[in-house]
Amino acid sequence: MATLNLHDPATAEAVSIPLETQGASSSHPQPQIIYINTRPSLPSSTTTPTPSSTYPAQSNPSSSSPQPSTSTSSTVPETKEQKGFIKTVLDSNPYFSAGFGLMAVGAGLTILRKGTVSGASILRRQLLVTLEIPSKDKSYLWFLHWMSSQSRGASSLAHTSGAEAAGSSSSGNGIFARLSDRVANKVNRRSQFLAVQTEFKQHDNGSVTTRFNLVPGNGKHLIRYNGAWIQVERTRDAKMMDMTTGTPWETVTLTTLSRDRQVFTELLQEAQKMALLNQEGKTVIYTSWGPEWRPFGQPRKRRVLESVILDEGIGERIVRDVREFVKNEKWYADRGIPYRRGYLLYGPPGSGKTSFIQALAGELEYNICILNLSERGLTNDRLNHLLTNLPERSIMLLEDIDAAFAKRDKTQEGFQSMVTFSGLLNALDGVASSEGRIIFMTTNHIEVLDSALIRPGRVDLREYVGDATPLQIRKMFKRFYEKEDVLADKFVKSLEGHKVSTAALQGHFVHFKDRPEDACNSVYYLTTPHRVD
Q: Is the pLDDT of residue 164 over 50?
A: no
- pTM score: 0.61
Give the phi and the psi of residue 333 in degrees, each rounded to 5: -65, -40
The sign one gets for the Cα dihedral 214, 285, 359, 512 is: positive
Candidate from 82-86, 370-374, 493-497 with smallest mean pLDDT? 82-86
**In the structure, what pLDDT confidence band is assigned to residue 296 with cuts at 50, 70 and 90?**
confident
Q: Is the dihedral of CA 89, 92, 95, 99 positive or negative?
A: positive
Q: What are 75-93's pLDDT values in tens digits?
A: 444 455 555 666 665 566 6
DSSP state of 530: -
Question: Does the structure show a pLDDT above 60 at 33?
Answer: no
CATH architecture entry for 300-464:
3-Layer(aba) Sandwich (3.40)
- pLDDT at position 62 is 43
More reliable by pLDDT, 296 or 444? 444
pLDDT digits (tens, 9 = 90+) for 214-257: 777 788 888 888 888 888 888 887 666 665 555 677 888 888 88
At residue 167, the pLDDT reads 36
The rounded Cα 490 to chain-centroid distance in angstroms is 64
Name the residue with higher pLDDT: 450 or 91: 450
Average pLDDT value for residue range 185-195: 53
Name the least confident of 78-92, 170-184, 378-392, 462-476: 170-184
More confident residue, 439 or 121: 439
Between 317 and 53, the higher pLDDT residue = 317
**Res. 459 pLDDT band, cuts 50 70 90:** very high
Radius of gyration of the chain (CA): 53
Q: What is the DSSP secondary-structure string of 463-503?
A: EE--SPPHHHHHHHHHHHSTT-HHHHHHHHHHTTT----HH
**Which range (121-125, 183-187, 473-477, 500-504) has the least confidence?**
183-187
Residue 507 pLDDT > 50: yes
Q: Which residue has the higher pLDDT, 308 or 203?
A: 308
Percent of the chain past pLDDT 70, that is, above it, reads 65
Segments making up each domain of the chain, as ranges: 1-59, 128-280, 300-464, 470-527
- The amino acid present at 43, given as its one-letter code, is P
Q: In this predicted structure, what is the pLDDT of residue 171?
A: 41
Q: Per this entry, what is the length of the chain?
A: 533
> Mean pLDDT score of the chain, rounded to an integer?
74
Question: Quick one: pLDDT at residue 95?
Answer: 63
Residue 365 contacts residue 461 (beta carbons within 8 Å): no
| Angle CA 466–469–473, to nearest 5 | 120
Model pLDDT, residue 531: 40
Q: Which one of 64-78, 231-245, 424-438 scores highest in mean pLDDT?
A: 424-438
**Tell me, what's the pLDDT at 346?**
94
Closest residue by Cα to residue 416 from 380, 379, 370? 379
Residue 63 has pLDDT above 90, yes or no: no
31 pLDDT tier (thresholds 50, 70, 90):
low
The pLDDT, as a whole number, for residue 128 is: 83
* pLDDT at site 64: 44
What CA–CA distance (Å, rounded) separates 155 from 146? 14
- Judge whether residue 165 has pLDDT over 50: no
1: pLDDT confidence band, cut at 50, 70 and 90?
Answer: low
Q: How confident is the model at residue 130 (pLDDT cuts 50, 70, 90)?
A: confident
Q: Check pLDDT > 70 for residue 331.
A: yes
pLDDT at 52 over 50: no
Of 344, 303, 341, 345, the closest CA to residue 324 belongs to 341
Strands 461-464, 340-346: pairing kind: parallel
Lowest mean pLDDT among 126-140, 188-202, 469-483: 188-202
Residue 122: is its pLDDT beyond 70?
yes
